[in-house]
Amino acid sequence: QKEVEQNSGPLSVPEGAIASLNCTYSDRVSQSFFWYRQYSGKSPELIMSIYSNGDKEDGRFTAQLNKASQYVSLLIRDSQPSDSATYLCAVNTGGRGSTLGRLYFGRGTQLTVWP
């Protein structure tokens, strides 16, 4: 049973603050990790992917991966009200070049950024 757990939230932060979203996974062979953002009534949108231990930065977003601890996180710096959405953590057991596999999703963390 492959499980992906996210802090349940909801998470509420003021505009300009750092929002921290956490995710743990149960399958040690997991290789690929993704963060999706889903606005209410919309479909999930990929915002970050990470494959190696350490940090990966993209604009205001930083993904952190620690395979030994089976932990992946997403930091959103200078949070904006437009960041208010549900953030989904997803894990894939295939490597970067894999054509197979499926994504296991967490239940999501609802983030609200208030002005």
Partner 1 sequence: KAGVTQTPRYLIKTRGQQVTLSCSPISGHRSVSWYQQTPGQGLQFLFEYFSETQRNKGNFPGRFSGRQFSNSRSEMNVSTLELGDSALYLCASRRGGETGELFFGEGSRLTVL
Q: Which residues bind partner 1 (CB under 8 A)?
A: 31-32, 34, 36, 42-46, 49, 88, 90, 92, 94-108
Q: Report in angstroms how near the CB of residue 32 gets to partner 1 at its nearest.
A: 4
Reduce the DSSP state of residue 81 to 3 states and report it. helix
Q: Report in angstroms how near the CB of residue 94 gets to partner 1 at its nearest.
A: 6
Measured CA angle at 48 (ends 86, 23), to 5 deg: 55
Q: Which is nearer to partner 1, 43 or 69 (CB)?
A: 43
By DSSP bridging, strand 11-14 and strand 109-114 are parallel
Q: Report in angstroms how near the CB of residue 67 gets to partner 1 at its nearest.
A: 15
H helix count then E strand count, the chain: 0, 11
Q: Which is nearer to partner 1, 50 or 76 (CB)?
A: 50
